[in-house]
Structure 1
Amino acid sequence: MAEFSLRQLEYFVAVVEAESVTVAAKRLHVSPGGVSLALKELETALKVQLTLRRRGKGVSVTPTGRWVYEHAQGMLARAADISAAARVVRGELTGELRIGCFTTLSPWLFPRIAAHFAENYPGVEVHLIEDASATLLDRMRKGELDVVLNYANHLSPGIASTEIAPVRLVLAVSPSHRLAAFDEVPLRELESETAILLALEPATSHVESILRTAGIEPLVRWRSANVETIRSMVARGLGYTIIMGRPYGDRTYDGLPLAYRPIADEVPPNSIVVGYPEGTLPTAKMRTLIAYCRHEFAQEGQLSL
């Protein structure tokens, strides 16, 4: 039996695909000499010539080398599968975790989630997909996402969820705004004030419905799908906004301060959740995500004001 290694096959495949020993070595983060030696040892073990190397013209593959290349790809793929299976047997998490996140939540939640998995579960490839709630839920139903990070009141029938943190609507204004003087702001005080609101459903309809229920027709001058744009405009005294929860930081991108105030009226309860299709048995990766989120974010939805 010919004695060769998976490493030699890996180097050979890299050279064929790069058509250059030097380029393949850079991609593999090894020396060109090491790659050349591996090719020579592989050819010696197989007793065939795999490549033709001409100075200044790169590397070409012999007919036999092409056949070996095609079979080597399959062998390397199967070896990777075996390695992944072994990690699962050892209790290590591995594979993809596709997380959909409502656009306003991703700057708040995802960076810490990504860092946690990178540090503790490097075998998991965490992917972020940001979008509006309806789009995310539709993609999850189609099997394109494993979970969604969203607000409970954005979910639709057929979606199960685990609560991560309770949240409540709060008012944000410039510190110089007259409403910043209130400890709690009654919604009736917003009647003649300019509003700057989020242009993302169902958040838009939710906030405006609450205002109209309180007898207030919001005077909306601007809308934006970017919550940081809204915060920056509010900090410049251009109007108020109502947002769900309170992320860290009372300053905008351009360094201006913000004032957050509780709403005095009763407003519908809400929470940040991890959602997944009803009837789905959460995988180990999903359970790990949920456990981390409940620990990390549980106290942040309703920070003291």
Structure 2
Amino acid sequence: MSRPFTLLQLRYFVTTARLGNMTVAAGELHMTQSALSSAMSQLESSMGSALFRRIPRRGLELTDAGRRLLDQCLPLIEEVDQLPAAVRGDEASMTGSLVVGVYEPLASQDLPRLLRRFSELHPAVDVHLLESDQESTRLALLDGLCDVALMYDMSIGGDLTYETLETLPAHVIVASDHPLATRGVRRVSLRELADEPMILLDLPSTRDYIQDVFTAAGVSPKVRHRFRGYETVRAFVGDGHGYAVLNRRLAHGYTHNGSSVTTLDIVEAVPAVQVVLATRTGARLTQRAREFRALCHTYFAGAPE
């Protein structure tokens, strides 16, 4: 025998799952925490299963049952939200929200243009962004905190399904007055840099990938500085503190502190990374997520906007 639950409870559940904190979710929903907690308890009773784990000092985490419910109710809520447009005969107009996770190095270059175009196509969709490192983005997607994620294929795991959008070979950057930058050859062997200091982009998964690049070349880098900021790495390289290995090529060589860097291709056969659009394996994508996926393929294929 089915137990009753309401669409409003499902909306509360989606918001609580996205924010991972009962107090924050209650504030966004303009209700008291006790009322939201009661609604979630009633929903758990209706579903016959716990939907959240309470983690001390961290907030809430979805259970496996909670993830399954989230995957199922997002398209359901979307269909309900589209009913008024369907009744008016205006089925082309999409509403609702879309949460996009993004790995930090991709956020500043690709995402602004992507979201501008998406907003032009679907102005009534409210887009939220979760920018983080690769591992945190992966976990946010697994926990249902975002619908889709733009990330690299590094350490992505079997719980996510992904589609390749772009291939990014590894390259070296050096200061523009470095001898390797002024010799007129835009290629370098990592062996030529073996004795020079390196500036490492020290993010989870990224650091492992960069180590794989050096392992493939048979070189052990001498790391001088470790930074989590992409532009911080570029600034230190531009100021002559060392070289760096990166993947995302910028359209210019300038850095935030006014120095400049030069990009050099790597002679050795080293692994590249793929820019991917990832989703939870088995998740039913909303129409909003499907439209964003289609736009990503168009954008990265270089088709006219």
Q: For 2:212 and 2:166, how far apart are their aligned partners in 1?
A: 23
Matches within 5 A, 1:118-197: 118-180=119-181, 181=183, 182-197=185-200
SS at match of 2:275: strand
Equivalent in the alignment of 2:206 = 203
Aligned length: 220
1:268–1:290: structure 2 CA closer, same or farther, 3 Å change rule? same
Contact 1:165 1:294 (8 Å CA) reproduced: no
Partner of 1:295: 298
1:141 is matched by which residue type in structure 2? L
Shift in Å, 1:83: 7.1
Partner of 2:114: 113
SS at match of 1:289: helix
Deviation at 1:237, TM superposition (A): 1.4
CA shift, 1:200, in A, is 0.1
Question: Which moved further from structure 2: 192-201 or 202-211?
Answer: 202-211
SS in 2 for 1:138: helix
Whether contact under 8 Å (2:231, 2:255) holds in the other structure is yes
Tell me the SS of whatever aligns to 2:110. helix
- SS of structure 1 residue aligned to 2:164: strand
| Aligned residue in 2 for 1:250 | 253
Structure 1 consecutive aligned stretches of length 4 or more whose deviation exceeds 3 Å = 81-84
Residue 219 in structure 1 maps to residue 225 in structure 2: no
| Contact 2:168–2:248 (CA under 8 A) maintained in structure 1 | yes
Task: Report whether the alignment pairs 1:269 with 2:245.
Answer: no
C-alpha change, 1:299 and 1:116, in structure 2 (3 Å) is: closer
| CA distance in 2 between partners of 1:254 and 1:276 (Å) | 37
Contact 2:216 2:270 (C-alpha < 8 Å) held by counterparts: no
1:151/1:270 contact within 8 Å kept: yes
CA distance in 1, matches of 2:283, 2:267: 39
The CA deviation at 1:116 is 1.6
Aligned equivalents of 1:116, 1:223: Cα separation in 2: 35
Q: Helix, strand or coil for the counterpart of 1:166?
A: strand
Q: Is residue 164–residue 290 contact of structure 1 (8 Å, CA) maintained in 2? A: no
Deviation at 1:167, TM superposition (A): 0.9
Unaligned runs of 5+ in 1: 1-80, 301-305
Counterpart of 1:292, as a letter, is: L
Q: How far off is 1:261 after superposition?
A: 0.9
Given candidates 219, 240, 255, the residue that maps to 2:243 is: 240
State the identity %. 28
The answer to whether 1:95 aligns with 2:96 is: yes
Residue 47 of structure 2 is matched in structure 1 by none
* Residues 191 and 217 in structure 1, CA contact (< 8 A), matched pair in contact too: yes
Correspondence 1:86 to 2:84: yes
- Give the equivalent residue in structure 1 for 2:287: 284
Q: Which residue identity does 1:105 align to in structure 2?
A: L
Change (3 A) 1:113 1:266: same
Contact 1:165-1:299 within 8 A present in 2 as well:
no
Alpha-carbon distance between aligned partners in 2 of 1:195 and 1:173, rounded to the nearest angstrom: 10
2-side partners of 1:299 and 1:242: how far apart?
A: 25
Distance 2:218 2:81 in 1: 63
Q: After superposition, give the CA deviation of every residue in 1:74-131 in whole Å (9 maximum; x if it has no partner).
A: xxxxxxx987422366122221111111112111122112212222211111111111
Two-structure CA RMSD over aligned residues (Å): 2.1
Which residue in the other structure is 1:38 paired with? Answer: none
Q: 1:21 aligns to what?
A: none
Taking a change above 3 Å as real, the CA distance of residues 82 and 236 of structure 1, as seen in their structure-2 partners, is: same
Preserved contact between residue 165 and residue 273 of structure 1 (Cα < 8 Å): yes
Bigger Cα displacement from structure 2, 198-207 vs 176-185: 176-185
In structure 2, do the counterparts of structure 1 residues 233 and 240 end up closer, same or farther at CA, with 3 Å as the change threshold?
Answer: same
TM-score relative to the length of structure 2:
0.67
Computing the radius of gyration from Cα coordinates, the structure with the larger value is 1
SS of the equivalent of 2:254 reads: coil
